[in-house]
Amino acid sequence: SAIAHRLIAPRTRLILFLFIFFYLLLLAGAFVGILAGILDPRADVPFGILMLAVMGLLAGQMLYRWKMDLVLVTILAVFVTLGSMAIGARGIRLQEGTAPDGKPARALVYDGPINSVVAGLDDAINGVSGGGALYTVSDPTKADPRLAATTVNAQGTVVPKYVDENGSIKMLPSFIFWCVFLFVFSYLGTILPIWRFAQPVNYIGFWVTFLTIGLSALGAITGGVLGVLGNADALKAVTFQTAVFKSWMPVQQAAGQAVAAIQPIWPMLFVTIACGAISGWHALFGSIGTARQLEYETDALPVGGGAMFSENTLALLSLIAVSIAGGAGGGAFAAGVGKLLGVVSFGAIPQAYGTALGFGAFVVIVLTVVQLVFRLMRVTLSEWLGDAWVGFKNPHIAAIVSMVLTLGLVMSGTWIYLWQLFGASNQLMAALSLLIVTLWLRSSGRDPSYALYPMIFMYVTTMAGTLVTAYNLYASILSNPRIAAQPINLVGAVAMILVALLLFGAALVIAYDAWGAWQKIRARPLRAAPAEAGD
């Protein structure tokens, strides 16, 4: 923001703050919705996440206050966290049953010492509404991560936990409870000094993720070798096949919907895969958080490059895991990881434990980002509106306001459009970052081409993606009288459309101001670029 203020215009700094805050709001809403949709139906996961928070606090104390050895602290913290994930999975079993239509179905049953308590807590919380929904929301796209969750009713029938007989998604009190649990976790990372919680939690989370990726990769290799040797049961893969091309412009029109929603391959491909070769989140946190933790500037390349390589490795593992488990989403990732861990351990790790670790690793990966998102939201809100009302300069007020807004978005939004809006705003944030880099390169006498041309493509693509998503919200929700008749659907759709238009307008103003700054820079005599540093 300081560079935008200096290179472009004073108002650009304020508009950039507005853009960043609502972009982070979409990011937080998309991720909290995913995480709560895992913690609620999976009673084997929360205990490990709770112990991650405890060990994060303890690790920060041991490292920075008690000055204990890093290796010892690492072994202790990671061992306790992974052990807690395993304990949380004890006693889990898969119960065979029948669905309401008479077809065979399965649901998880929790009989362990920890997960049975968590499951009982969920039941007690849902007792507030008599075991039913507080209200229902509609997802015409059928992409909500809660759709796959099942449970066993009093008659012993396996039924969807969140989907009612009309196909609407039930908003259960337990889902809201786990949203609040995530907010409490993130509140610690938002308010406490970074060494006290956020940094040690992310450090422990790194090792959990690293071990999951490493062991799963070994499982994939081992399974392949065992398959060649004739042990085909070691790693059975489901059929993983999809058409190379289906349509340039897929459409979706449910019954009663006045106009069809559209998913054109351009620009929606580039905003649905929300974190590919470039990411606004990486640009934002890399300049705000990572840069401040580097001891030497020369460490930026191995840290940044290593992070990109690690994310690429995680993406490949995710593809492998989903391909052997079938299905999609976090559940398929976890089930695939469970199979891979069973292979690499030659059956010593039961699939139930491996799947629980897969879910735990998935939650850790996302949750370590979420706590940092709220930390940045708190700072952004303070910088943006702190002069308008001094209360926003209070870190507790700024953090709570950010979380309340996120909860409202999660409770009222259609998740897939929330995800696509996040994807569009994430890549648009990256485009705006490249825009500022372009101006800085030009003003310092360097060739800006390598930032300029990708920025133009990304800016046009993500602006189009934002408009398409806003249109789809209108088409799927507002133009369907049955869905729009539910107030919560109406409020959620209107809120997300307004956020989309707000981001679109803010990005237009920033681009307009940047064009004016570009013209001024071009009119000035170019100064020589700095000489390369000598050996």
Domain presence at residue 356:
yes
At 104 the pLDDT is 80
Give the Cα separation of 443 and 359 in Å (integer): 48
Place of tokens 């990966």: 365
Q: Which domain holds residue 286?
A: 2-68+184-237+250-522
Residue 107 Cα distances to 126, 144, 160, 318, 405, angstroms = 18, 19, 9, 24, 34
Model's pTM, two decimal places? 0.89
Domain presence at residue 179:
no
Classify residue 135 by burial, with Cβ atoms within 10 Å: 0-12, 13-18, 19+.
middle
Phi, psi at residue 529, to the nearest 5°?
-70, 150
SS (H, E, C) 275-328: CCCCCHHHHHHHHHHHHHHCCCHHHHHHHHHHHHHHHHHHHHHHHHHHHHHCCC
Q: How confident is the model at residue 123 (pLDDT cuts 50, 70, 90)?
A: very high
Q: For 348-394, where are the alpha helices, taking DSSP H only?
A: 351-385
Percent of the chain with pLDDT over 70: 91
Domain presence at residue 254:
yes
Segment 21-41 mean pLDDT = 92
pLDDT (tens digit per residue) in 453-499: 999 999 999 999 999 999 998 988 888 888 888 888 888 889 999 99
At 463 the pLDDT is 95
Segment 204-209 mean pLDDT = 93
Crossing angle between the packed helical segments 46-64 and 173-191, to the nearest 10 degrees: 10
Query: Which amino acid appears at position 29 of this protein?
Result: G
Domain presence at residue 173:
no
Tell which residue, 500, 441, 445, has the closest CA to residue 470: 500
Q: How confident is the model at residue 505 (pLDDT cuts 50, 70, 90)?
A: very high
Domain presence at residue 39:
yes
Domain presence at residue 96:
no
CA quadruple 482, 265, 419, 49: dihedral, nearest 10: 130
Q: How many structural domains compose the chain?
A: 1
Query: Which amino acid appears at position 415 of this protein?
Result: W
At 290 the pLDDT is 81
Contact 77, 44 (CB under 8 A): no
Token digits for 341? 């861990």
Asked if residue 267 has a cis previous peptide bond (ω within 30° of 0), the answer is yes
Domain presence at residue 533:
no
Domain presence at residue 227:
yes
